[in-house]
Amino acid sequence: MKISIPTNHNYYEEKPLIENQLMEVFGAKNKKDTKHIREHLFSSTYHFTSKKESLEQIKIFGFKEQRNKLEDEEQLVLKLYAKENSTEEKKYIVQTGLFAGTIYHKDVQFNIVTPYGDTFLKRMLNFVNDIYVDNLSTKADKTEETNEFQNIIAFLFIQSLEKAAILGLPKTYQSITQRSNKVRGKIDLNAYLKKDIPFTGKLTSTYRKQVYVQEIIDILYLACKALEKKFGKEIHKKILGIYQLLKQNYSGVFPQAAVLEKAKHHVVLQNPMFSNFKKTIGYAEIILKEQNLLISKEDNKLSTNGYLFDISQLFEVYLEKLLSRYFKDWYVTGQEELRVYQQMFYKRKMFPDLVMKHKKTNQIVVFDAKFKKMRLNKKESKYSDLDRSDFYQIHSYIQYYQPNVIMGGLIYPLSNEINIDTTHSDRLFGNPNIDTNFIVDGIYINDEMSISDINKKENEFVLRLERMIKIRIQ
């Protein structure tokens, strides 16, 4: 049984399930399956967060290295519980956070997907990988169905392999013995006494030579081949030289589970030169497990496991690259560390997602990126898309950068077209005495858009920012 749900789902319990919906939503085949869902998933509260002790077998992959938010904050991954009272039918609640991926729990597969479509996901991944011109079609031989998680893993593997292989593929010293008329290394005296008396013109010598670690080479090459089969040869563009080297040194034998474990724990990975391959091999392991993100049914029953991706980080990096590419006169940094009240017991660190600093005037623009639904609804409603905590947080960042800050705000993937009359304020807090703009803005996205549509909305977004910044600078 499985269920597909979007990220940041049901935060305000606005979309509860009732009992007769469980069978349809979870793909239950009969009443027995429905009973299993009721009794095993909703009999108590299951709360999975980004803290390691609650994740157990779940792997979380991020897109940033300078700061690991998972260690700083406890973030929601998945929450399951039921509510009932005397007047209403029992309600079943499934909540998700900002992590996309697949979780297997109690023999049920939870697919947490991004709500903006596969095209936008690929666009963000390509931007992060410094690919700004997307091909509308590829010649991939897709013999199996692909999903957005495979796209993410493919990107992470290629990026990680490219970085790790800067100093070469992992090598280790191996003793090699040769018998010839040339001496290399040291003469093997035992072999000389046994074989070379009387001397016939050949000697046995032993020398040490650096050779590629075969287990790692085989794992990496087969992962590349799996991606080629899934996405086409174009996926190897950035690592073509590495791929050819892997191909030349491949043993020709498909590795068994023991070989994979040996590659993951090989002593050569303790060498700082090759330590980055640990992460690369981790991605390769996922790719090689039947070339998708499925786990065996036996594992599903034994524990909670799966793979998750921090999509909010991906959105932050995507915006950082987009702004850096467009605003050439500005330094654009992500997750700048702000240390506040350092001499006090309540000292803190703050991390604004995006800080733009003008190269000449030192004027500052500060944004927080939020990968959450934003409908730009003007009317008062029970559930607001703009969270109170996000609102207070960005205002704290803006105040920190005074008096150099000229603009600040929150950036979203927008669910509706923007109207700047209701989203852009000329004054912070609406206070005429504070000459700082505050905006809620972003890129209008839906799951039916093509690459050209998204590119058009990106341009509209940066042009809106450019117009506001020019007015403030002048």
Q: 133: which DSSP letter?
A: S
How do 348-350 and 364-369 pair as beta strands? unpaired
Q: If DSSP codes are grouped into helix, strand and coil, which group holds residue 93? A: strand
CA angle 367-372-375, nearest 5°? 95
Which residue has better confidence, 109 or 396? 396
Residue with tokens 């790719």: 287
Say if residues 230 and 148 touch (Cβ distance below 8 Å).
no
Q: Where are the alpha helices (DSSP H) in 165-296?
A: 189-195, 214-231, 240-249, 257-264, 277-288
Q: How far is CA 328 from the centre of its chain?
A: 27
pLDDT (tens digit per residue) in 314-340: 999 999 999 999 999 999 999 899 999
Q: If DSSP codes are grouped into helix, strand and coil, which group holds residue 198? A: coil
Q: How far is CA 11 from the centre of its chain?
A: 22
Q: How confident is the model at residue 287 (pLDDT cuts 50, 70, 90)?
A: confident
Most confident of the ranges 106-115, 303-312, 326-335:
326-335
- Mean pLDDT score, 405-433: 94
DSSP string, 134-180: --S-------S---HHHHHHHHHHHHHHHHHGGG-S-EEEEEEEEEE
Res 282 pLDDT > 50: yes
Q: 238: which DSSP letter?
A: G
- Mean pLDDT score, 366-376: 92
Res 301 pLDDT > 60: no
Average pLDDT over all residues of the chain: 84
- What are the phi and psi torsion angles at 440 (to 5°)? -115, 120
Res 293 pLDDT > 70: no
Helix axis angle for 214-231 and 240-249, nearest 10°, is 120
How do 405-414 and 437-444 pair as beta strands? parallel
Res 228 pLDDT > 80: yes
How do 91-96 and 76-83 pair as beta strands? antiparallel
How do 91-96 and 203-212 pair as beta strands? unpaired
Q: How confident is the model at residue 354 (pLDDT cuts 50, 70, 90)?
A: very high
Q: What local confidence, expressed as pLDDT, does residue 95 receive? A: 93
Q: What local confidence, expressed as pLDDT, does residue 54 receive? A: 58
Q: How confident is the model at residue 381 (pLDDT cuts 50, 70, 90)?
A: low
Res 464 pLDDT > 90: yes
Q: What local confidence, expressed as pLDDT, does residue 140 receive? A: 38
- Using CB atoms within 10 Å of the CB of residue 67, give its burial: 0 to 12 exposed, 13 to 18 middle, 19+ buried: middle
Paired residues of 352 in beta bridges: none
Considering only CA atoms, which of 284, 309, 280 is closest in space to residue 125?
309
22: its two tokens? 């469980």
pLDDT over 90, % of the chain: 42
Instruction: Give the other-Cβ count within 10 Å of 462's Cβ.
Output: 15
Q: How confident is the model at residue 65 (pLDDT cuts 50, 70, 90)?
A: low
- Mean pLDDT score, 430-436: 93
How far is it, in rounded angstroms, from Cα 204 to Cα 188?
6
Considering only CA atoms, which of 352, 349, 350 is closest in space to residue 319?
352
How far is it, in rounded angstroms, from Cα 332 to Cα 354?
7
Helix axis angle for 311-326 and 118-128, nearest 10°, is 60
Q: What local confidence, expressed as pLDDT, does residue 297 receive? A: 46
Comparing 30-44, 170-184, 293-307, the range with the smallest average pLDDT is: 293-307
Q: What local confidence, expressed as pLDDT, does residue 300 receive? A: 47
Q: What local confidence, expressed as pLDDT, does residue 339 receive? A: 93
pLDDT (tens digit per residue) in 153-205: 888 888 889 989 998 999 988 887 787 777 777 877 777 777 777 777 787 88
How far is it, in rounded angstroms, from Cα 426 to Cα 434?
9
* Single-letter residue type at 311: I
How far is it, in rounded angstroms, from Cα 53 to Cα 347?
26
How far is it, in rounded angstroms, from Cα 90 to Cα 358?
56
Q: How confident is the model at residue 13 (pLDDT cuts 50, 70, 90)?
A: confident
How far is it, in rounded angstroms, from Cα 312 to Cα 397?
19
pLDDT (tens digit per residue) in 120-146: 988 888 887 665 555 444 343 444 455
Res 49 pLDDT > 90: no
How far is it, in rounded angstroms, from Cα 17 to Cα 5?
13
Q: What local confidence, expressed as pLDDT, does residue 289 receive? A: 74
